[in-house]
Structure 1
């Protein structure tokens, strides 16, 4: 009796799910694996794009003032805290980008630099 119920349930499942569903799912997983890339490089690319956006703003805009701000008072001893722009400048150094403050005003050149980071 239990075997009969099992077989009828199995037939119903086969009607609902065609046989090639499994292969379609595995193909989808393979495509997703091919499309994935290094998240660290993606974040670097996005930071560089944002830096270009901020640096093209007028010097009186709050976002630019905050980004370029340097603390004037002495910090506690130990490793100094790193600002966001320091991280991005370090990324630009690893890409061997010099004179980035001038290059960021040219959108096409800056987008190529951001793509290079990705």
Structure 2
């Protein structure tokens, strides 16, 4: 998901919450106040948590499953000229780099559900960008 996609989704989320609470112009409140009133989290945090929970689920799958194979698959050959597209896997790899983790590290953590849940909760507490 690109930054632009995340921004659009977050804007849509807060717009819907404003309509639900009937907060219209000229009455204005900040997005943080809006989320606090609704007891909601930022859309980026919600997506990040769900992304990492899904990664843990996939990593606990059997070795031969297509989903697990697709997660770690690296295509061979040359790619087109220009900047690579922002893909789901590149987003994950970027977050891993920011956290100083590797695929093998999170693979080991994902095998233990309790440790994985703690790991995902810590990610959200630190506010890793996604």
Q: How does 1:38-57 map onto structure 2 within 5 Å?
A: 38-57=42-61
- Say whether 1:116 aligns with 2:118: no
Paired residues of 2:35 and 2:41 also in contact (CA < 8 A): no
Q: Trace 1:31-70 onto structure 2 (pairs within 5 A).
A: 33-70=37-74
Equivalent pairs, count: 92
Q: CA deviation at 1:110?
A: 0.6
Q: Is the 8 A contact 1:44 1:88 kept in 2?
A: no
**Root mean square deviation, CA, Å:** 2.6
| Structure number, greater radius of gyration | 1
Matched, 1:90 2:87: no
Distance 1:31 1:66 in 2: 36
Larger RCO, structures 1/2 (Cα 8 Å, 6+ apart):
1
Q: What is the TM-score normalised by the length of structure 2?
A: 0.59
- CA change 1:93–1:112 in 2 (3 A) is farther
- CA contact under 8 A between 1:49 and 1:114: conserved in structure 2? yes
Q: Give the gaps of 5 or more residues in structure 1.
A: 1-24
